[in-house]
């Protein structure tokens, strides 16, 4: 049994959800996943036809000590070779006593169908994770257990991921596994101190033209993880004059969200999302905040050809 030094009810509820002592390294969740697809699917790299740079920061369960905080930076671009795209991503996640850093490179190749509007992309992700766990931040029921005698420092875990995506400028569907390696870490005992489970993601979205000014885009993300309930996110965004985005999202049995975005210039987009929990945990936190930035080069020329919402 492990208890954080702050013994208030907020942390106790949080720790029960995390099911420590297994400190799970899992893919971070984002409400604005529709703008951050390359993180979970390497086939997305280069699909926008320009250099796309994104940054996203999420503070989850505000007011709950030790709750997850994630900062992520990524970029992807076609490289001039017909159908080839490259991407790079790095993220830092802090949760309780653990800090995880992740660096990955994506490679994609796109094959156009005969109608030239529909394309099939497949991709490969390679990289590594570094995990740190500071047991000094915990009060432990039995501190003599060997597993808690030495902190975890820069624990290395390779990343190998794959993905596919079928898409046009109006819709997309994707299937991906960001890391096909399923491993558990042990520290001189039979107790697992950290694990990486395989995540399978199914994503999709469609853009409906309502009139000359308004577009409607529903999207979904489904995550499948061994030993965990099926995760389903659905969202509905309205896009006005290719400038303002307003929408809502629902994470099944977890949270509801409000989303907003604004295309500041042809190159720069900013977005914000707020989540409120629909579970009992919602009584012990003030929701989750997420800020998103996307900067793109050569957008003006690209938008004259085919504007994109994803």
pLDDT tens-digit readout, 52-77: 999 999 999 999 888 899 999 999 99
| pLDDT number for residue 115 | 74
Residue 246 clears pLDDT 90, i.e. is over it: yes
User: Per this entry, what is the length of the chain?
Assistant: 310
User: Which pLDDT does position 151 carry in this prediction?
Assistant: 77
Tell me if 110 sits within 8 A of 46, measured CB to CB.
yes
Give, in words, the CATH class of 26-297.
mainly beta
Closest CA to 37 of 181, 165, 208, 179: 165
Predicted TM-score of the model (pTM):
0.84
Of the pLDDT bands very low, low, confident and very high (cuts 50, 70, 90), residue 145 is low
Check pLDDT > 80 for residue 149.
Answer: no
Residue 195 has pLDDT above 80, yes or no: no
Instruction: Write down the mean pLDDT value for the chain.
Output: 83
Higher pLDDT pick, 43 / 149: 43
Alpha carbon distance 209, 12 (integer Å): 48
**What is the average pLDDT across 102-129?**
92
Query: For the chain, what is the radius of gyration of the CA atoms?
Result: 20
In this predicted structure, what is the pLDDT of residue 65? Answer: 83
Tokens of 15: 């720790």
Sequence spans of domains, the chain: 26-297
* Rounded distance between C-alpha atoms, residue 125 and residue 115, angstroms: 29
- pLDDT tens readout for residues 3-23: 444 444 444 444 444 444 444
pLDDT at 281 (0 to 100): 87
Confidence of residue 38 (pLDDT cuts 50, 70, 90): confident
Mean pLDDT (whole number) for 295-306: 60
Enclosing H/E stretch for 162 = strand 152-167
Query: Count of CB atoms within 10 A of residue 11's CB?
Result: 19
Of residues 309 and 153, the one with the higher pLDDT is 153
User: Bigger pLDDT: 310 or 262?
Assistant: 262
Question: Residue 24 — very low, low, confident or very high, per pLDDT cuts 50/70/90?
Answer: very low
Count the helix, strand and coil residues of the chain and give each as a percent rounded to the nearest 5: 10, 55, 35
Give residue-wise pLDDT tens across range 256-287: 999 999 999 989 999 999 999 999 888 889 99
pLDDT at 26 over 80: no
Cβ atoms within 10 A of the Cβ of 133, count? 23
The residues that bridge with 131 in the sheet, in sequence order, are 100, 155
What is the per-residue pLDDT for 200?
95
pLDDT of residue 27: 65
Burial of 259 (0-12, 13-18, 19+ CB in 10 A): buried
pLDDT band at 301 (very low <50, low <70, confident <90, very high): very low
pLDDT at 12: 45
Higher per-residue confidence, 90 vs 49: 90
pLDDT at 85 > cutoff 70: yes
């Amino acid at each position: 049994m492990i208890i954080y030094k702050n013994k208030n009810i907020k942390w106790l509820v949080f720790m029960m959800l995390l099911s420590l002592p297994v400190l799970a390294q899992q893919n971070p969740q984002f409400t604005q996943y529709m703008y951050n697809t390359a993180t979970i699917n390497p086939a997305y790299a280069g699909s926008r036809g320009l250099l796309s740079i994104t940054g996203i920061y999420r503070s989850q369960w505000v007011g709950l000590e030790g709750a997850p905080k994630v900062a992520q930076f990524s970029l992807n671009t076609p490289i001039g070779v017909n159908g080839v795209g490259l991407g790079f991503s790095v993220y830092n996640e802090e949760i309780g006593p653990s800090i995880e850093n992740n660096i990955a490179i994506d490679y994609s190749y796109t094959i156009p169908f005969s109608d030239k509007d529909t394309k099939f992309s497949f991709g490969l992700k390679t990289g590594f994770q570094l995990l740190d766990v500071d047991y000094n931040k915990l009060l432990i029921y039995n501190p003599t257990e060997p597993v808690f005698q030495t902190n975890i420092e820069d624990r290395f875990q390779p990343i190998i991921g794959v993905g596919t995506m079928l898409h046009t400028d109006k819709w997309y569907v994707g299937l991906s596994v960001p890391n096909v390696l399923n491993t558990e870490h042990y520290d001189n005992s039979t107790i697992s101190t950290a694990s990486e489970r395989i995540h399978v993601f199914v994503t999709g979205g469609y853009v409906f033209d309502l009139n000359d000014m308004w577009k409607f885009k529903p999207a979904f993300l489904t995550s499948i993880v061994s030993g965990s309930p099926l995760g389903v996110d659905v969202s509905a965004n309205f896009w006005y004059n290719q400038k303002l985005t307003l929408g809502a999202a629902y994470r099944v049995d977890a949270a509801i969200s409000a989303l907003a975005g604004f295309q500041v210039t042809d190159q720069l987009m900013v977005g914000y999302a707020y989540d409120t929990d629909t579970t009992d945990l919602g009584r012990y936190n003030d929701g989750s905040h997420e800020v998103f930035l996307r900067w793109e080069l050569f957008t003006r020329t690209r938008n004259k050809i085919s504007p994109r919402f994803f």
